[in-house]
Amino acid sequence: DILLTQSPSSLSASVGDRVTITCRTSQSVDKYLYWYQQKVGQAPKLLIYVASSLHSGVSSRFRGSGYGTDFTLTISNLQPEDFATYFCQQSFNSPRTFGQGTKVDLK
Amino acid sequence: QVHLQESGPGLVKPSETLSLTCTVSGVSVNSAAYYWSWIRQPPGKGLEWIGHIFYDGRTKLNPSLESRVSFSVDTSINQFSLTLRSVTAADTAVYYCVRDEDGLAAFDYWGQGALVTVSS
């Protein structure tokens, strides 16, 4: 299985900050890396697909980048609704696997 | 508007069988554009892909669970189902049914999730 390691596991930030989350994969996943946002008590929501494409309806404050084994999710101008847990996920190989999550909370 | 809704018992005894159904609206499960996945999340933990089923019944399963898991799809009533046998406490989780968009290879629509607790 492809292992996905996110860093940091958690971070504290303020409204208006820019936040960066990293996802490293144990082998190349080409561009098949995805980012999801999960709020407490809710299902995850797709933010970014194939590393850098913004899913329909998602704010342009979210940006994904990377290729191969190293990927980044950047949230610009952090808003109150962005405090949540973020997961990366790969679809290059089966089984599909997820990172352990990064919790973004209010400083 | 695409909507997925899980249904099934919230409590299952150890060694018994967990069964969940996902009712889909706003899109046909009888479409070659999508797979239909199950993903679970133990309380306070991360996400685990269980597997997916195609409209024609073909499946792909996570090897970690494939000896205990089976899927089915009923295109006539736009539902798909999960069966997990011989459950233990480690199977306690929120189970999500999810649309798996083939072209994007993304989990783009999720059900709200169903908490299943394994306990005697």
Measure CB to CB from residue B47 to each of A32, A46, A87 and give the nearest one: A87
Contact A95 B63 (CB under 8 A): yes
When pLDDT is averaged across residues B98-105 and rounded to a whole number, the result is 88
Which pLDDT band, with edges at 50, 70 and 90, does A8 fall under?
A: very high
Instruction: Among A43, A95, A100, select the one facing B62 at the smallest CB separation.
Output: A95
Sign of the Cα torsion A52, B1, A98, A106 reads: positive
Model pLDDT for residues A12-60, shown as the tens digit of each residue: 999 999 999 999 999 999 999 999 999 999 999 999 999 999 999 999 9
Q: What is the largest CA-CA distance in chain B?
A: 43
pLDDT at A104: 97
Q: A90: which 2 tokens?
A: 């790969």
Are A95 and B113 in contact (CB < 8 Å)? no
Question: Using the beta-carbon criterion (under 8 Å), do B105 and A44 form an inter-chain contact?
Answer: no
Distance from CA of B14 to the nearest CA of A (A): 25
Segment B7-28 mean pLDDT: 97
- The pLDDT value recorded for residue A48 is 98
Q: Are strands B93-101 and B34-41 parallel, antiparallel or unpaired?
A: antiparallel
A5-34: burial string, b at 16+ Cβ within 10 Å, e else:
ebeeeeeebeeeeebebbbbbeeebebbbb
What percent of chain B has pLDDT above 70? 100
Quote the minimal CA–CA distance from A85 to chain B in Å: 10
pLDDT confidence tier of residue B105, bands split at 50, 70 and 90: confident
- Residue type (1 letter), A96: R
Asked whether the predicted pLDDT for residue B19 surpasses 90, the reply is yes
Q: For B2-16, write each residue's pLDDT tens digit.
A: 999 999 999 999 999
User: What DSSP line would sit under B46-92, residue for residue?
Assistant: --EEEEEE-TTS-EEE-TTTTTTEEEEEETTTTEEEEEE-S--GGG-
Residue A57 DSSP one-character state = T
pLDDT tens, position by position, A79-105: 999 999 999 999 999 999 999 999 999
CB contact under 8 A, B106 and A49: yes
Chain A with chain B: Cβ pairs closer than 8 A:
51
| pLDDT of B29 | 96
Best mutation target among B104, B109, B112, B115 (most A Cβ atoms within 10 Å) is B104
Task: Report the pLDDT value the prediction gives residue B102, as an integer from 0 to 100.
Answer: 82
- How far apart are alpha carbons A39 and A59 in whole angstroms? 16
By the CB < 8 Å criterion, does B42 face chain A?
A: no
Q: In B, which residues are within 8 Å of A43 by CB distance?
A: 96, 110-113
B104 has pLDDT over 90: no
